[in-house]
Chains A and B, each alone.
Chain A
Amino acid sequence: MLKLEPVIWGLFGAGMMVGVLLFPAWLLVGTLAVPLGIAPAEALSHERALALAGSLPGRVLLAAAIALPLWAGAHHLRHLAIDFGGIARDALVGSLCYAVALAGTVLAVVAVVRL
């Protein structure tokens, strides 16, 4: 895993930045304001959501917004596990965390291609 560390660090740093910049707006409008009726339902109607997400910039942004924060989250949780449980199980925990991030990345690419 040491050989992959620079790559994982790159994904981790990019994931923190992307997650911090993009998630608050999505959480505020997409998961709270629209479902609770504070924002107009037409704002995220199927037709408009598909038009926004299905454009080329939309697909690229969505793929990055899904995949990169998964790597950041996985890396954070791996290091939290080291702090709490020691280094002994790092190979297993680290592999598990990054496997989740890798699977999510593949699914994210497939999801935006399907749009």
Chain B
Amino acid sequence: MVASISLSIDSDLDKVSLLARAVRALCEDFLGPDDLDAVELSLVEAINNVIKHGYHGEKGKDVQVAVGLQADRIVIDVIDHALPMAAGVLEQASDDPFTFDETDLAEIPEGGMGLALIHMNMDEVEYVSNESENRLRMVKRIARPGS
């Protein structure tokens, strides 16, 4: 079984939930509730980053999402045409921002959590940027019963 579907929205934060819920529905036959939550959160964080940091909150730009449903995995690509993320940002984000001292209020993060959450919630994350587009690829493996 291999199928793929493409969806797109305008770069408007109000429209992110619509796309996230559509992708969650596409994955419902393949993933359990925790994995569905993980995919939905990762996708929302990825699109928020594109709109807030890539397009600097400007509406009217395109955000595309391609969902590939494969036998053992779900591959989600978030594609944009903004200025690319700086090299190394994605890798550095895997440093856990959640190792704060919970007794020190000033240390608790208010932002900068999105990419780390994507790393924590997906099995593979990679970012490819070329002259025509930026593509963040997120993979969730489908757990087999008993494995």
Q: Do A and B originate from a single complex?
A: no
Report B's interface with A, CB cutoff 8 A.
none
